[in-house]
Amino acid sequence: MMSDWFVYIVRCADNSLYTGIALDVERRVEEHNNNNRLAAKYTRARRPVALVYSETVASKSEAARRESAIKQLSKEEKECLIKT
């Protein structure tokens, strides 16, 4: 049985957006906010972060493809995605 993966976007304290993938989004956001070893280098310097968007996908490879597609969007396009 395959576990669902999530693609997520967090808003950083400087209002920038960070996109990532995870099996457990809540745990991952907690790591971004509180764990220097596991947090992304980008988010460590921009704490706190808040989850603003997530979507479920069927596999890690699908999550990675979707993450890449979202990262190609402009900030304005990401903001529209978050609002939907």
Of the candidates 13, 49, 51, 24, the one whose C-alpha atom is nearest the C-alpha of residue 34 is 49
Q: What is the pLDDT of residue 3?
A: 79
| Domain covering 5-83 assigned CATH 3.40.1440.10 in the classification | yes
Structural domain spans, the chain: 5-83
Q: What is the pLDDT of residue 2?
A: 63
Q: How many helices (H) and strands (E) does the chain have?
A: 4, 3
Mean pLDDT is lowest, of 2-6, 11-15, 18-22, for: 2-6
For 25-56, write each residue's pLDDT tens digit. Answer: 999 999 999 999 999 999 999 999 999 999 99
Residue with tokens 């907690």: 30
pTM score over 0.75: yes
Of the candidates 63, 65, 64, 80, the one whose C-alpha atom is nearest the C-alpha of residue 17 is 80
